[in-house]
């Protein structure tokens, strides 16, 4: 093998082992596998200037001044490569992929390879000239000296064998380099600025999706693959890099015929002649699509969390207002005494309040602050029980198709919220099909592996029950798919949707520890795939109970709420039911009232209260001072007050806001009747 090929091979091996070492491979001996090969690369470069020999034979010094100059540039490239490798190894804890040191390291290595390639190509040309000369000499000697022809044939055969060995070694070196680039998803390329012709490595061809056999590729061809919105930016960056003599490092989008987008990191630097004129670009191209997808998924998740916090806070305050309106409306109904017109007004207020409460429930559902009642659920059985309701939710022109998987796993979710979620998806599909088409509901057991979760960062590996809801509607444009779960975002006409249906679906799935994914094509339809976590517990069919009579009592109840309006409503409602009621507007005041009234039987307190003591903390104090007092808490938003340690036992005793008088009466009676 020629010394030039040895230089390239040893440097490529050193680069490969160094990348393995920097990534944390403990089996790599940095001294043996990296520095030794860099030293060997430098030795082979030097023997091209001064001569030398190894186990393979003797190396003759080069005489061509231009070739010797290229070798000297190669040696300088080896020195730069070694210096940056040593610097990166010393700072390996902060020189991972994408850092400044990593980028400078890659640029240095690529520049060195370019100079090494020049030497190899120059030697190839020299060898070809020699071969041609020897061929001419051969024919001359055969004619002039027949006796000498046999000897010359033998000599040329030996020369061809040595040349074949060199070519085989070169191919091995290029194959090793191609494997290295494929591992890192990085391709190398160069561009002749005079002809605009680009030469690309195999991996660069794979990234650009061009034929690697005919790897000559023009800069104009590259521009055609760049997204139209990025083309002017790329041209400007190219020109700026040449003018300012600075490296180019940009992220751009490639767009292919089927509309598929690929993000790439393009890095390059111009090479100048002695007069300072740019001759060509040498650089690399890296596919960073997966990295961009992960960053986008994180951005969406953070955005949804921020919107959830905002909507949850608004809904909490709105809940208190609705609770006051609803409570006073129910109290007013007991006083109107047969006045039909007034009763009609009161009923209208009550219906409007219930609509507001439903809207608030959707907001709380999205914001993940709604308390849930978790049960083990068989999705097949649940959906079968909802078939009549689903049929009534769509038009007769919509054909509903069910595919239920046998031996479907169970899942632990809030059954009521799941039913609301499914109806939201059914209604959304109906509207997308304009009342005509096919709606398919399908269940299946699904295992999400690491590969799936790598491409879908919001998902977690494990066993799931998959529910697919598919329609044959008009589909969702790609640019809108990332926004469909945002509260109040809708593509429907004004007045035909609140924009909260799919946000509630997203909230339910997230709160259940699941994952949701959209597949949609315009003009074909949309599929929502919901993945709900597997449960080892068996689903149990619950029995419906007949509604009870409105219960009454005579016990003493301490009501605590910082909202005076809610406090008065609760007091009036309980007094109508026969209870004796004491009130407080803070936890501290409630403890004072408790100490002065030993006859208190039950504490009914809001969870979220200012003043340093929330409902959970108050309940804990009360059970310590008076273990005989029963506890019932109320809230529509519990994120601000979290139960700690021993307070968790009160989490099951929470009445959601806004509540009706019937809900209040039954929960009070139930709590007073509990023996535990």
Within 8 A by CB and 6+ apart from 381, the residues are: 539, 541
Q: How confident is the model at residue 675 (pLDDT cuts 50, 70, 90)?
A: very low
Q: What is the pTM of this model?
A: 0.39
Counting every residue, how long is the chain? 676
The domain over range 189-287 is classified in CATH as 3.30.450.20: yes
Please, are residues 265 and 286 in contact by the beta-carbon 8 Å criterion? Answer: yes
**What pLDDT does 501 receive?**
66
Higher pLDDT, 183 or 393: 393
**pLDDT value at residue 131:** 59
DSSP 35: I
Which segment of 52-56, 220-224, 549-553 scores lowest on mean pLDDT? 52-56
**Who wins on pLDDT, 485 or 182?**
485
Q: Helix, strand or coil for residue 263?
A: strand
Least reliable range by pLDDT among 48-62, 159-173, 234-248, 447-461: 159-173
Positive or negative, the CA dihedral 618, 621, 626, 629 is: positive
Out of 11-20, 308-317, 605-614, 616-625, least confident range: 308-317
CATH class of 556-673: alpha beta
- Mean pLDDT computed over every residue of the chain: 77
Contact residues for 634 (Cβ-Cβ < 8 A; gap 6+):
561, 604, 605, 606, 607, 615, 654, 655, 656, 657, 659
Q: Which residues of 116-152 are buried (b: 16+ CB within 10 A; e: fewer)?
A: bbbbbebbbeebeeeeeeeeeebeebeeeeeeeeeeb
Comparing 33-37, 460-464, 638-642, the range with the smallest average pLDDT is: 638-642
Query: DSSP E strands: which ranges in 472-617?
Result: 515-521, 525-533, 556-560, 580-584, 602-606
Residue 491's pLDDT band, with cuts at 50, 70 and 90, is low
Q: Which of 519-533, 557-571, 580-594 has the highest mean pLDDT?
A: 580-594
Query: What pLDDT band is residue 658 in, cutting at 50, 70 and 90?
Result: low
Cβ pair 550, 668 in contact under 8 A: no
- Provide the β-strand partners of residue 446: 464
Residues 396 and 411: their CA atoms lie apart, in Å, by: 32
Residues β-bridged to residue 284 = 188, 267
Which pLDDT band holds residue 331 (cuts at 50, 70, 90)? confident
Could you tell me the residue ranges of all domains in the chain? 3-165, 189-287, 303-366, 374-533, 556-673
Residue 547's alpha-carbon distances to 370, 544, 551, 576, in angstroms, are: 25, 9, 11, 20
Q: What is the pLDDT of residues 640-649, one digit of tens each?
A: 444 444 455 6
Question: What percent of the chain is predicted at pLDDT more than 90?
Answer: 16
Residues 17-46 have a mean pLDDT of 77
Least confident piece of the model among 93-97, 248-252, 663-667: 93-97
Taking domain 374-533, whether its CATH number is 3.60.130.10 is answered by no
Could you tell me the two tokens for 631? 């506890």
Task: Give the residue with greater pLDDT, 260 vs 182.
Answer: 260
Pairwise CA distance, residues 121 & 594, whole Å: 95
Q: Would the pLDDT of 543 be above 50? A: no
Torsion angle of alpha carbons 392, 393, 398, 399, nearest 10°? -60
Of 205-219, 226-240, 273-287, 507-521, which gets the smallest average pLDDT?
205-219
Q: Which residues in 104-247 belong to E strands, given as ranges? A: 186-192, 197-200, 216-218
pLDDT score of 26: 63
Give the pLDDT of residue 553: 92
Q: How confident is the model at residue 128 (pLDDT cuts 50, 70, 90)?
A: low
Q: What is the band of 165 on the pLDDT scale with cuts at 50, 70, 90?
A: low
Higher pLDDT, 362 or 431: 431
pLDDT value of residue 598 = 93
For residues 537 and 375, give the distance between their C-alpha atoms in angstroms, rounded to a whole number.
10
For the residues 205-229, what does the mean pLDDT come to? 76
Predicted local distance difference test score (pLDDT) of residue 359? 65
Report how many helices (DSSP H) and strands (DSSP E) the chain contains, helices first. 20, 20
User: Over 80: is that where the pLDDT of 288 sits?
Assistant: yes
260-264, 419-423, 487-491: which has the minimum mean pLDDT?
A: 487-491
Residue 495, pLDDT score: 45
**What integer is the mean pLDDT of 276-282?**
86
Q: For residue 630, what pLDDT band results from cuts at 50, 70 and 90?
A: very high
- d(CA 455, CA 297) in angstroms, rounded, equals 10
Where do the DSSP E strands lie in 122-239? 186-192, 197-200, 216-218
Predicted pLDDT of residue 638: 41
**Which residues face 403 on adjacent strands?**
442
What are residue 444's DSSP bridge partners?
Answer: 466
Domains 189-287 and 556-673 share a fold: no
Q: What pLDDT score does 328 carry?
A: 81
pLDDT value at position 555? Answer: 95
Q: How far is CA 80 from the centre of its chain?
A: 38
Predicted confidence band at 673 (pLDDT cuts at 50, 70, 90)?
confident
């Amino acid at each position: 093998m020629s010394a030039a090929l040895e230089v390239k091979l040893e440097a490529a091996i050193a680069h490969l082992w160094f990348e393995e070492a920097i990534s944390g491979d403990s089996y790599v001996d940095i001294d043996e596998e990296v520095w030794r090969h860099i030293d060997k690369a430098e030795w082979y470069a030097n023997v091209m200037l001064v001569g030398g020999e190894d186990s393979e034979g003797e190396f003759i010094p080069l005489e061509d001044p231009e070739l010797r100059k290229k070798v000297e540039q190669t040696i300088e490239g080896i020195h730069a490569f070694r210096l940056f490798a040593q610097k990166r190894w010393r700072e390996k804890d902060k020189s991972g992929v994408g850092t400044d040191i990593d980028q400078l390291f890659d640029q240095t290595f690529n520049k060195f390879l370019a100079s090494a390639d020049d030497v190899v190509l120059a030697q190839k040309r020299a060898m070809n000239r020699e071969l041609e000369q020897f061929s001419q000499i051969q024919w001359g000697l055969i004619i002039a000296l027949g006796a000498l022809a046999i000897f010359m044939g033998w000599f040329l055969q030996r020369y061809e064998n040595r040349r074949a060995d060199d070519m085989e070694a070169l191919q091995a070196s290029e194959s090793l380099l191609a494997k290295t680039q494929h591992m890192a998803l990085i391709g190398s390329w160069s561009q002749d600025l005079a002809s605009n012709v680009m030469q690309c490595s195999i991996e660069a061809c794979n990234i650009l999706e061009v034929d690697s056999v005919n790897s000559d590729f023009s800069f104009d061809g590259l521009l055609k693959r760049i997204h139209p919105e990025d083309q002017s930016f790329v041209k400007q960056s190219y020109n700026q890099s040449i003018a300012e003599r600075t490296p180019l490092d940009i992220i751009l989008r490639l767009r292919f015929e089927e509309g598929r987008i690929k993000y790439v990191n393009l890095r390059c630097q111009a090479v100048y002649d002695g007069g300072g004129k740019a001759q060509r670009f040498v650089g690399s191209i890296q596919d960073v699509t997966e990295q961009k997808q992960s960053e986008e998924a994180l951005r969406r998740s953070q955005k949804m969390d921020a919107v959830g916090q905002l909507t949850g806070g608004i809904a909490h305050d709105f809940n208190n207002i609705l609770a006051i309106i609803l409570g006073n409306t129910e109290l007013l109904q007991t006083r109107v005494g047969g006045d039909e017109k007034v009763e009609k007004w009161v009923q209208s207020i009550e219906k409007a309040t219930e609509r507001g409460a439903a809207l608030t429930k959707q907001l709380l559902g999205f914001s993940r602050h709604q308390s849930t009642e978790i049960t083990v659920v068989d999705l097949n059985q649940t959906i079968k029980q909802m078939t009549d309701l689903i049929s009534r939710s769509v038009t007769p022109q919509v054909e509903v198709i069910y595919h239920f998987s046998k031996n479907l796993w169970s899942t632990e979710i809030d059954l009521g919220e799941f039913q609301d979620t499914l109806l939201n998806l059914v209604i959304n599909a109906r509207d997308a099909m304009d009342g005509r088409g096919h709606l398919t509901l399908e269940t299946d057991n699904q295992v999400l592996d690491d590969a799936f979760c790598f491409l879908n960062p919001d998902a977690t590996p494990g066993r799931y029950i998959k529910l697919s809801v598919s329609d044959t509607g008009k589909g969702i444009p790609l640019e809108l798919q990332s926004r469909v779960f945002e509260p109040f975002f809708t593509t429907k006409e004004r007045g035909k949707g609140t924009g909260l249906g799919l946000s509630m679906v997203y909230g339910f799935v997230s709160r259940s520890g699941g994952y949701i994914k959209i597949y949609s094509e315009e003009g074909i339809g949309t599929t929502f795939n919901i993945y709900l976590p597997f449960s080892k517990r068996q689903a149990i069919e619950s029995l419906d109970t007949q509604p009870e009579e409105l219960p009454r009592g005579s016990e003493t109840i301490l009501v605590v709420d910082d909202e005076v309006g809610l406090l008065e409503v609760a007091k009036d409602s309980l007094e109508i039911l026969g209870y004796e009621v004491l009130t407080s507007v803070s936890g501290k005041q409630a403890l004072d009232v408790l100490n002065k009234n030993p006859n208190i039987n039950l504490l009914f307190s809001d969870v979220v209260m200012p003043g340093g003591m929330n409902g959970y903390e108050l309940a804990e104090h009360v059970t310590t001072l008076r273990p005989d007092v029963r506890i019932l808490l109320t809230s529509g938003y519990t994120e601000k007050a979290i139960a700690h340690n021993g307070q968790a036992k009160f989490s099951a005793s929470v009445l959601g806001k806004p509540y009706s008088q019937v809900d209040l009466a039954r929960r009070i009676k139930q709590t007073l009747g509990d023996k535990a």
